[in-house]
A and B are shown apart, each in its own frame.
Chain A
């Protein structure tokens, strides 16, 4: 019996041990089988609790945030934040900030998903919580802490999105906070984040100021010219032109003191070409011109060879800075009379003299130089046409006919767009009709003194490509400033004229798609009219290759 009791005892112990080991194994297995999703919040929360400062906890907060936001589990995240706050009071500013951010995002989500019932049931409470928590963050953090800047940024965004509050005061407060942070703290990332947001919101000049601070922070950290260039080029490739430009500005400033003239000239030219007009790719024509002005100031006219002088003129033309572009084209013609861009430069100079400066003397000078050339380029043909057109507009019919007939004779049967336009004009003369209405309107508004106040500012034109190949489709789009009209319906008319390629846009069309079968420099004109009169005119120049 005693033996049986001993055996039973051993069996009982063995069973208990077996159960204990099994439960441990099963427990461990359960832990290992927990999905990464389930384990991650726990891991990240632990990182936050164990971090020796709020800054050190930032990455974990961000990672946790993304986990919960991806599921739109905003209330779940706030509950977790509250539990973290209980465990470590020093995290309070971060908990407040992320609570505010989460409610802000939650409201955005409810709006974007159009869950109006939930939205309107909670909007007042969530809005108030956002504001309260942001104030808590701001009060509990110092000016040199990133969370302080981020809280000010969110506060500004909140009020801006609601279009309430003293917008200017809030923006000034945000900017002051950012500047204070810039002068007292690292890392510079919050400055870039604020600048990015301001840029997204269309506040370019404010963004530029902070990008400058960000850049200064990089420089203050001792970045050399090559590093600045690398940073600038990276941001350029990312499409962040404002930031790229701020870094290039810093590079130019530094290089102006350290580089020899030749090297500086090479650098400035390279930067300008990066931003110059191109049909495809990133550009900022006005920044390119700004850099070229620096080149002129720091290195002088000797830095501008034939190619760069032409490129500058063309870039200004595409920036619609016609007066400046005209100056550069005439500079090209004066300094490089044998330039390979001779015909194009003369023709464009003539167009700008005529239709921007209303200077027919200047215009005719260049049109005649081209028309008299022995070798007939497309621009030479177009110049003869323009001379004929101006004569016809002024009522000098015989002179006009002479130019037109010369074009037909020299064309030798070729059917270019210039020849077609010439035939239209000749038909008008033969039938004793006035110049086609749209074209006449353009000439009147562009040339007559009574329209001198129309400066092309109320009508804009943009082509999808300015150097298209022949037979390649492109779109020309207009925009016109039309004053608000209350309840009255205002019909505006778009009077297209000039060389519109294979398309004949209707007066109801603010844009049109076309292609050109023959190469040359094409001029597209537009006058926009309303029942109360002319709104404005504009013209655009395309180089078809």
Chain B
């Protein structure tokens, strides 16, 4: 059986230079649907998928410049790698469209705290995945 141990999508459009929650929700729904369509007893797929662990719950603000502690307080928008499968922003400068600090399905608040840690702000993808698991048979209509 196959476990997809890491999959996900960032929510920063490197081409337009802005957050795009629709883009992330679009890809994550697609990825979960592919997993679901291939679970055991599914008539649609190979029937050999036992699920997946999605990358990731929250944004990690340290990821772009790991060795620079000052940058950990900044939600960097630069990218240093490319993946053409995420085609909406592949036209970014240098084709670098994968924004490491923006993969969370919840964002971190830079102004509010909850129980001593940065408040988590659910993104659209959070709700889309929630709706998906209420009824995986139903396509959640998303704008793109």
Residue ranges of A at the interface with B (Cβ–Cβ < 8 Å): 111, 114, 116-117, 119-120, 123, 127, 161-164, 479, 482-490, 492, 508, 510-511
Contact = CB atoms under 8 A, between A and B. Distances in A.
8 contacts: A116-B126, A119-B127, A482-B95, A484-B90, A485-B82, A487-B83, A489-B81, A511-B93
A482 B97 CA distance: 13
B43 interface: no
B103 to A, nearest CB: 15
A455 B128 CA distance: 45
B94 interface: yes
A115 to B, nearest CB: 10
Contact of A490 (B87, B95, B127, B142): B95
A162 B93 contact: no
Contacts of A484: 84-85, 87, 90
A486 B141 contact: no
B37 to A, nearest CB: 19
A116 B122 contact: yes
Which size bracket describes the interface of B in this complex? 20 to 34
Contact of B94 (A117, A163, A488, A492): A492
B44 interface: no
Interface in B83-128: 83-85, 87, 90-91, 93-95, 122-124, 126-128
B11 to A, nearest CB: 11
| Among B127, B130, B131: residue with most chain A CB under 10 A | B127
A117 to B, nearest CB: 7
B31 interface: no
A111 B126 CA distance: 14
Given A114-B123, A127-B141, A479-B91, 7 more contacts: A111-B143, A116-B126, A120-B127, A482-B95, A489-B82, A492-B95, A510-B93
A163 B143 CA distance: 7
A222 to B, nearest CB: 44
A163 B26 CA distance: 12
A508 B141 CA distance: 39
A120 B122 contact: no
A194 to B, nearest CB: 21
Contacts of B93: 510-511
A489 B83 contact: yes
Contacts of B122: 116
A487 B127 CA distance: 27
B87 to A, nearest CB: 6
Contacts of A119: 127
Contacts of B87: 484
